[in-house]
A and B are shown apart, each in its own frame.
Chain A
Amino acid sequence: MSVKRSFGRVFGFFFALGRKTGKTRALALLGLFPVVLAVVARIFLRGRSGDMAAVFTEILMVFFLQLYVVILSLFYGTSVVGEEVENRTLSYLTTRPVSKPAIVLGKYAAYSLLMFVMVGLGLGVSFFILNAPRLGDPALYATFLRYLGVLGLGILAYTAFFTFLGALLKKAIIVGLVFGFGWENVIQYFPGSTQRFSVVHYLKSLLPIHRAGPGGGGRGVALLLFRLEPTAPLVAVLALVAIAAVFLALACGLFRTKEYLSED
């Protein structure tokens, strides 16, 4: 079977399975937090659209970008290979006529789509609740799509990196936590080129900066863009795509050559 068709079959298998797991339900519930916050803000900040928009950019986007996407990518990414090894289900996949790279790529794509749906739903509902007074403004939708795109690229890049970690290490989650909430949260604030060694730098470089008007209210995205020396948007997109591609290729190569032995 060609790699493309194998990829499609593996994708279908894990997208169907991923939707049903307890992990997905729990993480999807976490994604409701911004919706709840948006509803609360809507109730208490009624009539103050600038403040409501600021709640989105300064609280909810921080939640999505620096917490939710990282957690999702960490749990799903490390489990692309790691979960199969830990649960001893790897033999069900490697004794089928599908290539090992197709297994990694298919499962990565399935989980990425699942995460995108979870993030997209939470983002969409909370965004439009908080920007409800401006629903007639087309620029609002462009802003929303930009936020969604940034988070989508974040999912792709982080998940690829964590997929590689999961293929490389047994306890990849621990290293992933250190990376996701240690390295990423520290390096991004280093001046000069150093901050370019973090994924979140490129994601933040793509965020819209609002002053007054739709989606931003009266303040910039101050909290998120603190100390940021942004990279040009096109370069940032290319960097994120390259990060995803490189780590996926490394994960595929590693999975193809490494033996994964169960602990018995």
Chain B
Amino acid sequence: MTAVIAASHLSKWYGNVLGLNDVSLEIEEGITGLLGPNGAGKSTFMKLVTGQMKPNIGAVTVRGRRTWNSPALFLDIGFCPEHDVFYEDMTGLEFVSGLLRLYGFGPAEVRDRAARALDIVDLTKDKDRLIRGYSRGMRQRIKFAQAVAHDPGIVILDEPMSGLDPLGKRKLIRLIKDFKSEGRTILVSSHVLPEIEALTSRVVLVHQGKILAQGDVPYIRELIEAHPHQISVRSSDPRALAARFVGDRSIPKMTFGEDGRTLVVETYKRDDFFGRLAGVVLEDGIEVEEISSPDDNLQAVFEYLVGK
């Protein structure tokens, strides 16, 4: 698949502070999550992608064109900025309509598109209220509306769920997922791992201006060969189970859960362990109630990668 957004050896300084360090990345169609703690470089990357800044070294292109001073590119790009800022003296409708007019749409089309965008974000009944009177959730939704009202093929969302309560987050996650359709590219950033996990399995991990890893979560997990996998087995006799794996050099550690029924195994060879576990269950008749991988998720992967 051809990359929609491509960064090649991208570096960006803010004075003496390095915002991005030699980042090379290709983003394809679909939803991609940009994940990292505050200050990792996510917003810097998004500002470079949306042409608000120019790289010090390297290049960033959208559909093969550099983004700095390329206004024509934005016919097909929608951007939702990080900050909670608006033209506060405008109503929601005026805000979305006014920005839509900058695309050159005629009055009727502006009206239709604005109405549709406000309907998508469920702000139709509040469209004539001043934005300064909106709640935080409404402000985030109107920001999303202005980003998608012109029906772009590429949507860049910088921390779209910042400041939202759980219900607001759920609404916005649903909106983003609904908006994704065939051929659309959505890049969304967050420092909150469950938000990204709820949206996509395709993740780019960013830390201190560098890309730590990218791909599907399981794929990233597999990359971390040096870090043992955690597998939790709840059974009728966890001690008997543990006794069968003592001495296995691929298992550096085993612990028992507080419930007295769980054995947590750390192993470098996950597939081998599962194979042996099946054999032990059959041979010894130990009842296994549940098997799970507590660290087969983004949280554990990220924490390990950033060395926390």
Give residues in A with beta carbon < 8 Å to B. Answer: 1, 5-6, 9-10, 12-13, 16-17, 20-22, 87-100, 256, 259, 261-262
* The 3 A-B residue pairs with the shortest CB-CB distance in the complex, in nearest-first order: A95-B79, A96-B102, A88-B85
A contact residues around B183 at 8 Å (CB): none
Known: A91-B79, A95-B50. A9 touches B102 (CB 8 A): yes
A216 to B104, CA, bound (A): 49
| B69 touching A261, Cβ below 8 Å | no
| B103 touching A97, Cβ below 8 Å | yes
**Interface-lining segment among B29-37, B93-101, B266-274, B278-286:** B93-101
B contact residues around A256 at 8 Å (CB): 69
| A97 touching B101, Cβ below 8 Å | no
A149 to B103, CA, bound (A): 35
Closest to A13 in B: B98
A93 to B102, CA, bound (A): 9
**Interface-lining segment among B70-78, B166-174, B221-229, B292-300:** B70-78
| B71 touching A97, Cβ below 8 Å | yes
| B85 touching A96, Cβ below 8 Å | no
For the A-B complex with A17-B87, A90-B52, A97-B102 known, give 4 more contacts whose Cβ atoms are closer than 8 Å: A6-B71, A16-B94, A95-B52, A98-B102
The reply to whether the CB of B251 lies closer than 8 angstroms to some CB of chain A is no
For A17, A88, A92, which residue has the most chain B Cβ atoms within 10 angstroms? Answer: A92
A96 to B73, CA, bound (A): 8
Closest to B81 in A: A91
B contact residues around A20 at 8 Å (CB): 89-90
Contact of B85 among A1, A6, A87, A259 (CB under 8 A): A87
Q: 5 pairs across A/B with beta carbons < 8 Å?
A: A13-B98, A88-B85, A92-B81, A96-B99, A97-B104
Contact of A89 among B14, B72, B85 (CB under 8 A): B85
Contact of A261 among B53, B71, B85, B103 (CB under 8 A): B53
A256 to B68, CA, bound (A): 10
Interface size class of B (residues with CB under 8 A): 20 to 34
The reply to whether the CB of B304 lies closer than 8 angstroms to some CB of chain A is no
B contact residues around A88 at 8 Å (CB): 81, 83, 85
The reply to whether the CB of B202 lies closer than 8 angstroms to some CB of chain A is no
| A22 touching B85, Cβ below 8 Å | no
B contact residues around A92 at 8 Å (CB): 81, 87, 99, 146
The reply to whether the CB of B86 lies closer than 8 angstroms to some CB of chain A is yes
The reply to whether the CB of B51 lies closer than 8 angstroms to some CB of chain A is yes
The reply to whether the CB of B127 lies closer than 8 angstroms to some CB of chain A is no
Known: A9-B101, A97-B103. A22 touches B52 (CB 8 A): no
A58 to B44, CA, bound (A): 56
B contact residues around A21 at 8 Å (CB): 89
| A17 touching B83, Cβ below 8 Å | no
The reply to whether the CB of B54 lies closer than 8 angstroms to some CB of chain A is yes
A21 to B77, CA, bound (A): 29
Contact of A97 among B53, B69, B72, B85 (CB under 8 A): B72
A contact residues around B83 at 8 Å (CB): 88, 262
A77 to B73, CA, bound (A): 29
A contact residues around B72 at 8 Å (CB): 97
| B89 touching A17, Cβ below 8 Å | yes
B contact residues around A17 at 8 Å (CB): 87, 89-90, 98
| A95 touching B51, Cβ below 8 Å | yes
For B74, B89, B94, which residue has the most chain A Cβ atoms within 10 angstroms? Answer: B89
- Nearest-neighbour CB distance to chain B for A108, whole angstroms, equals 16
Contact of A1 among B81, B99, B104 (CB under 8 A): B104
B contact residues around A91 at 8 Å (CB): 47, 50, 52, 79, 81
| B89 touching A22, Cβ below 8 Å | yes
